[in-house]
Amino acid sequence: MPRPHFLFAATVVVATVLSGCDTPGSSTSPEHGGQAHARPLPPSTGDPSGSVRLLLNNPTGRATPVDRCEVELCTSLLALIEGAQTSIDFAVYGMRNQSELLAALKAAKARGVRVRAVVDRDVDGDNYYSSTNTMAATLGQVRDDRKVDQGLERDQKASDRGNKFDAEPTCGRPDGFAGYVQCLAYDLGDRCLLATHASREPFSGSEDDGDTGKVFNKIMHHKFFVVDGRYLWTGSTNVSDSGTGGYNANLIVVLDSPTVSSWYTREFETMWTDGKYHQRKPESGELRTTVGDAEVQVLFSPQDKAISNGVRPLLKRAKRRIDIAVFFLTNKAITKDLLDAHRRGVEVRVILDATAATNGYTKHELLREAGIAVKVDVWGGKMHMKSAAIDDEYVIAGSMNWTSAGEWDNDENTLLIKSPALATQYHEFFDQMWAEIPEQWATRNPDPESRDSGTSCTDGFDNDYDNLVDAEDPGCSANPPPMLELPPHWVVAKDKITCQHPPRG
């Protein structure tokens, strides 16, 4: 989810700003200095008696975010917390309105379980989720990335790095757009697909502006719990009324695996103990093992370059089909891989979030132009997954949006799971979601807060981040305004060996 104080293309504006005070237990570890070294991992031959479960949440029929623990995304986590005997280490973006989970964490601490947490905070100490401060005060052992972000802010100001975005792009800035410009050219075989992408507002550096600036407000975007050094709960689901509350489409992987849990414990300790976040974390090395019948590989962002080293190689090897359910798709390299897969005969389908479809850097219209099937969600909640299944063999899961910031800036985790059983489960779930979205949204984009988008006009939630809720939002009126146009794209005949934008004179 985006930070409330940043602009998101033409639509995302501040939602809620929390108290600027430090949380109890805020990290005092050094945020600068010294070479980052990876913590040693214990030797492992895998976990043949372990297990991997894939939990998928379809939000169809859910009317509003709730402070209840009733969907499996939540009950699976609650069971792990209640069963914890020695330790709970977790890294989450924040917390909002999940009373039962917070009570379970408090009870675990009271019975002697060591409970430690890492959350995101910006340079002012704010967190997007409104219960984060309460959680920190309740548990005490909660640290964050604020000091690192402040150091990045100082570095950015000292180098005046922002000036690199002042020059006009070679392809020309589209009318009505003020943000950083991408000049894009994709090869469709006998034609070239050209596009000029930008945000309507000046670039702000937030994740959801398209992740092109990489300035100082990186985010600690993990969503994982390690319990007793053995059990891992991780995926796309935030600990919130819309996440674990079930209002959004989300995914969770639950592993019984001391090996994989040790990798996440090392990532946790790098942040909690060493105070290293974002680009300051050491490389992980190859993290690959067997858990039960599944092969599992883990990549942490930004140190392991999860898109370049994990997601893209699988997309390039796809032979039959790729099903993608994703919150944001702004990464131009992934876009190329999907276009190439389509050209070689792979069936590619994408389900994208409605708010993300208004982003000035979204690539879904380029996929549509090339003949790839893309549907935009029409729930009140979000398509919040960051996932795919490939060839009935692989599942991609985790916290990382398919954006540049997901790979290069933010603290994220990505799992590549080779398991025909889990891939088949994902494909079947995707088929169900695909069938539930009307065909009109395969060629059009619904207003994320309107009568076109499920219960978005009655859910008490600011679905498009414009500070207007339900009836206050013009999209929910009897005569909603037209959607703002996205940046331009077009197809031209290919008269050279390679495509480029602007075209050769």
- The pLDDT tens digits of the residues spanning 432-455 come to 999 999 999 999 999 999 999 999
The C-alpha atoms of residue 505 and residue 177 are separated, in whole angstroms, by: 25
Average pLDDT estimate for 484-499: 92
Residue whose C-alpha is closest to residue 140's, from 115, 171, 103: 115
CB 243 within 8 A of CB 384: yes
Q: Under CATH, which number does the domain 51-159+181-445+483-493 receive?
A: 3.30.870.10
Asked, as a colleague might, if the bond just before 502 is cis with ω within 30 of 0, I would say yes
What's the confidence (pLDDT) of residue 152? 84
Of the listed ranges 181-185, 217-221, 309-313, 350-354, the one predicted with least confidence: 217-221
Q: What is the pLDDT of residue 496?
A: 78
Q: Residue 304: which of 334, 277, 331, 284 has the closest Cα?
A: 284
Q: Are 180 and 165 in contact (CB under 8 A)?
A: yes
Higher pLDDT, 308 or 169: 308
Residue 161 has pLDDT above 90, yes or no: no
Higher pLDDT among residues 504 and 345, named by residue: 345
Nearest to 142 by CA among 115, 176, 123, 124: 115
Q: Tell whether the model's pLDDT for residue 299 goes beyond 60.
A: yes
List pLDDT tens digits, range 222-274: 999 999 999 999 999 999 999 999 999 999 999 999 999 999 999 999 999 99
Q: How far is CA 157 from the centre of its chain?
A: 27
pLDDT value of position 203: 58
> What is the C-alpha separation between 457 and 254, in angstroms, rounded?
34
Mean pLDDT of 110-137: 96
Least confident of 39-48, 98-107, 304-313, 359-368: 39-48
Considering only residues 503 and 358, tell me which one the structure prediction assigns the higher pLDDT. Answer: 358
Asked if the model's pLDDT at residue 190 lies above 50, the reply is yes
Residue linked to tokens 């398991």? 419
Strand spans (E) along 58-190: 87-92, 95-96, 114-119, 142-144, 182-187
Lookup result for tokens 């395969």:
442
Residue 206 has pLDDT above 50, yes or no: no
- Candidates 69, 119, 73, 76; CA nearest to 98 is 69
Least trusted range by pLDDT, from 126-140, 164-178, 356-370: 164-178
Alpha-carbon gap, residue 318 to 391, rounded angstroms:
6
Per the omega criterion (within 30 degrees of 0), is the bond before 302 cis? yes
Contact indicator for 388, 56 with CB cutoff of 8 Å: no
Rounded average pLDDT over 336-342:
98
Confidence of residue 163 (pLDDT cuts 50, 70, 90): low
For the chain, give the longest Cα–Cα distance: 73
Structure-token pair, residue 462 = 């600011």
Taking all residues of the chain, what is their mean pLDDT, rounded to a whole number? 88
pLDDT at 62 over 80: yes
* Bigger pLDDT: 413 vs 215: 413
- At 216, the pLDDT band (50, 70, 90 cuts) reads low
Q: Above 80 in pLDDT, residue 73?
A: yes
Whole-prediction pTM: 0.90
